[in-house]
Structure 1
Amino acid sequence: MLLAIDIGNSTIKFGVFDRKRLVQKFSVPTYPDYSPGEFLIDRLRYFDEKPLRIDIVMVSSVVPEINDAITAADRELYNVTPTFVGPSADFGLQVDYSPIESLGSDRLIAAFAAAEKYGKPCIVCSFGTATTIDAVNSAGEFLGGLIAPGMAAMADSLNFKTAKLPRVVIKNPKMVIGKSTETAIRSGVFHGHAGLVNHLISLVAKELGEKAMVVATGGFADMVAAGCKAIDIVDDILILEGLRLLNERPKSAASRKIPAS
């Protein structure tokens, strides 16, 4: 079986695939100071201590500090050295981005998965710590995209940059007009971000010049989609699916495998 791991700035997502079928998934918070021991304990707890026959581990990581712990855990638990997918891997896309090393592999994996699952052209939105919107044209070219603050980052900045505004939990507000400081912040962040995303998608679509499926993923995708008419579909396992699909492609030397010590 394949274990796909998506290491984001806030959350680590795990998905176990038996061929094309997702048989188990869960997530844990991301902590850069994770030790392999702590990581193994969390892994075993979420797998209900049932041993799994993991043959392959594919990883997307935007938090390099976690990579050694992931590697140690996979070697100890499954005797498998994980493959960390970098931006130079063979995605079957022509990538128009420079320097490519600065491009988050999660963005490319999401774009690749969206193109494979939903067809080209496509616009891919990822809603997490940051909001990214990327485009793939009908010729299979990854054209790049844009990066904006995510909803949590917007809310946190109000708390960090002001003396009296509180930190709030982001929710879909019941009313636009907030009746308290907390609900006013929630409304401003939610509706402001939804409006931002609608506008940015329209600009990307115009520049793309083709009618494209708009696919959303990430921790805030469902919430944003509730206020954003431009989004066609939410796929919360898009990157996990992308890792599975990449594993089915002919192996590329550009995927980085950490050598055994």
Structure 2
Amino acid sequence: MLLALDISNTNIKFGLYEQEMMRHHWVVSTVRQRTTDEYAMVLSDLLRHAGLALTDIEDMIISSVVPPLTPVFEDLAVRYCHKEALVVNHTLDLGVQALVDNPWEVGSDRMMTAVAAHHLYGGPAIVIAFSTATTFDVVSVQGDFLGGAIAPGLMISAEALSSAASQLYRVNMTPPRSALGKNTIENMQSGIIYGHVGLVQGLIARLRAEIADEGDEVKVIAHGGLAQFLAPIIPEIQH
């Protein structure tokens, strides 16, 4: 069985595949201080609930944007699964190109996003990841990564507002009755949520205009922890 890992700043996602079928999927919090042995115990417990063991893992592939944890999971693969993990980076032939100034700067998560988006939906496409940051990845008709944009995520913006302004406080991330807030909570919810929606819509429009020469209709795809919350209030998002 193949274990695929997506190590992000907020969560670590595990997908266990048998051939092309994902049999199990787990998400744990990213903790940079955890050791190889600690993560091995976490993974072992998850596998045990599925009636499996670490030794059932035949191959491992890692996409990581948390450099301190990459060697931790490489070590886990060798010591506990007796396999060498394949780590996604700019030198790996994924069948697509990073058509940007410095390909080595592109996070492995963004390259994998380009591959997955083109495989599932074709191109051209704008793929938006709603996570710690809100990232926009632009994929060509051929599936190449053309570049994109990185903005502060919704929760980062909310934290910055409440921590920097002494008379403001944390509020629940639920859309207010309208953009015209009638109290402090609604004012903050409107600014944070609809302000982020406006940011996303503005960048979609600009990116669409800049890749107009790609010809076909540009698909807009969303994923990430906040996608289910934000996608319904952003009509430009199709998938």
User: Could you state the TM-score of these two structures normalised by the residue count of structure 2?
Assistant: 0.89
1:70 deviates by: 1.4
The structural deviation recorded for 1:19 is 1.0
Is the Cα contact below 8 Å between 2:115 and 2:143 reproduced in 1?
Answer: no
Any unmatched runs of 5+ in structure 2? none
Q: Which amino acid aligns with 1:23?
A: R
* 1:55 partnered with 2:58: yes
- CA distance change for structure 1 residues 14 and 182 in 2, over 3 Å: closer, same or farther? farther
Q: Following the alignment from structure 1 to structure 2, what is the Cα–Cα distance between the partners of residues 189 and 146?
A: 19
- Equivalent residue number for residue 18 of structure 1: 18
Q: Distance in 2 between matches of 1:182 and 1:20?
A: 47
Whether contact under 8 Å (2:5, 2:15) holds in the other structure is: yes
Q: Say how many residue pairs are matched.
A: 232
Aligned to 2:38: 38
How far off is 1:231 after superposition?
0.8
> Distance between the aligned counterparts of 1:153 and 1:71, measured in 2?
30
The 8 Å contact of residues 122 and 143 in structure 2, kept in 1 or not, is answered as no
Q: For residues 183 and 88 of structure 1, do their structure 2 counterparts lie closer, same or farther at Cα, with a shift above 3 Å needed?
A: farther
Partner of 2:153: 150
Deviation string 1:57-105 (CA, Å, 9 cap, x unpaired) is 1111000111222123222332122111012322222321121121111
Q: Is 2:91 aligned against 1:91?
A: no
Q: 1:186 aligns with which of 180, 189, 196?
A: 189
Runs of 4+ in structure 1 off by over 3 angstroms are 177-184
Structure 1 partner of 2:235: 229
Give how far 1:28 is off: 0.6
User: After superposition, what is the alpha-carbon deviation per residue over 1:187-243, rounded to whole angstroms, capped at 9, x for unaligned?
Assistant: 32221111211121111111111312111111111112011111111xxxxxxxxxx
Alignment of 1:1-261 (within 5 A): 1-49=1-49, 50-52=51-53, 53-169=56-172, 171-176=173-178, 177-178=180-181, 181-209=184-212, 210=215, 211-233=217-239
Please list every run of 5 or more consecutive structure 1 residues that lacks an aligned counterpart in the other structure. Answer: 234-261
TM-score, length basis structure 1:
0.82
Superposed CA RMSD in Å reads 1.8
Contact kept in structure 2, 1:173 and 1:187, CA below 8 Å: yes
Give, in angstroms, the shift of residue 116 of structure 1: 1.2
Deviation at 1:179, TM superposition (A): 5.7
For residues 97-146 of structure 1, the C-alpha deviation after alignment (integer angstroms, 9 at most, x for no partner) is: 12112111111110111011111211111111111112122233321011
Secondary structure in structure 1 of the residue aligned to 2:123: coil
Distance 1:168-1:71 versus aligned 2 partners, 3 A rule: farther
Q: CA deviation at 1:168?
A: 3.9
After TM superposition, the structure 1 stretch with the greater mean CA deviation from structure 2, 224-233 or 155-164, is: 155-164
